[in-house]
A and B are shown apart, each in its own frame.
Chain A
Amino acid sequence: MNEKNRNLLEVYDLKKHFPVKAGIFRRTVGQVKAVDGISFSIERGKTFGLVGESGCGKTTAGRTLIALYEPTDGEMFFDVAPEIIARMRELERQVRSGDLTHEAEWRELKARHDIYSFGKKELRAARSDFQMMFQDPFGSLNPRIPVGDIIAEGLDIHKVYESKNQRKERVEYLMEATGLDPSYINRYPHEFSGGQRQRIGIARALALEPKLLVLDEPVSALDVSIQVQILELLNRLKSELDLTYLFIAHDLSVVEYFSDEVAVMYLGRIVEIADRTSLYENRFHPYTKALISAVPVPDPETKRRRILLEGDVPSPINPPPGCHFHPRCAQCMDRCRKEMPPLKEIRPGHKAACWLYE
């Protein structure tokens, strides 16, 4: 496998549970399983879309991924050779089955390559490789700091410049690359429009020359005419700076337009994962079907059969047993109420978690 098509990121069984506390002693009374075991990989240079409705765990997944939250469980490999990962899988299988001859080697490999096993210092060093851009162009920029300093914050923390001049040059370069006028370097966030603020967010995320950007709803707060400007900018930067994107959004049309591969999340799990064309054309999971059919189409003459889902997304504190989607599913079977369907390949490169395809 050559450098180009190698996976930049591989995530295995990522979980993030938040404790629910109650009473005067703040005892833990339950867990919100915001992300409950998701696995995926992103090829270098590609855009991976993570789509779902509010509360499905897509934002938590993004934040846990870049280690803003400490994961409850899971492994993440960033830019690790596939042979090493394969070797680790093999050793892990041996260890789990009771053969402990290579346990030390396994543990050593894990500590060296699994980001979530990293110590504080290593994590900090690794972190400059993956950065995040946030949804809210108003809340995510400190209103008291001039944009030049906002963009340079990462540079300051990681101390990657030698002189004040070098720092300024880098900031000006970043502003220019993201379509901002470098002469605005000393202005404050409120002097910029929503679209420009998102550009500031992109410039800040790019400051440390990351390889992966997590884009959390980067355009959903913007007007339609501005959305495309930002998406075009992101696409241009991706090829110019050799970036890889994890694109988190609720808007399926935008995700399909912008991503190479798409995963659909529901209540903390990935229910379907495929390249964008196959997802739209085949849509195996009943939830994906309903989701796609609910997206309004800007054409008054298309008449489509809409699958109307009943009710709301259930609470992630106490998700329904078996398949989380079964209470709203029109094709629910007995088995769905009891057993959780695994994510399995239905067509080459197209996986879904549903008992209908057993």
Chain B
Amino acid sequence: MIDRDLAARLVVAAHRRVRDHREELSRLDSVAGDGDHGVNMATALAEAARRAEQGDHSTPADVMRAAGSAFHETVGGAAGALFGSFFGALAGQLSRSEEPDARQLVAGLEKGLARVARVGKSEPGHKTMIDALAPAVRAARESLDRGDDLEFVMATAARAARRGARATAAMRPSAGRARFAPDHSLGTEDPGANTVALVLESWAEQLSSEVRV
């Protein structure tokens, strides 16, 4: 079961993880972008974490919706819009249940993926966050259908996201700013895909630490 407090802890965990990797994310972004991805994502997640901890949210959906708004309001850019849309779609799905569990979370990840693909008009192979998110969502769905619990589902998703992010190094970009110099970023992983992997890894770790206590 995902309650309001757990949702808040997930947002806080995502912020810590991305903040600790922000220089690395900015460095990846500087190869074909403008070198501020890490700073922007850490800024947005800091605001999301602040809202999660301080806001009077009564449901996990409220927490995720506030996180989405934090992206839309604090950083902008393509990444801000897309991550904001992801959290917004996830919140929409979570709000459909009084007590969301692994099934709602996986359905929420699927909604998030669909929203990001629609808003960003991108597909797998374009060297974007989709290349980490799509395999992660697929792996989460398969894990859930095998009957795995929430912790295991998220760990499976996180591993798939990381593999997906690594695979972007061999891709030529066909979306966003990087597409104007398609060979320039060859050999470098996509920063947005890395952020997806970091967020899902932080969620997997948070869930596994909660099971142990």
Q: Do A and B come from one complex?
A: no
Residue positions of B touching A, CB distance < 8 A? none
Q: Which A residues form the contact surface with B (CB < 8 A)?
A: none
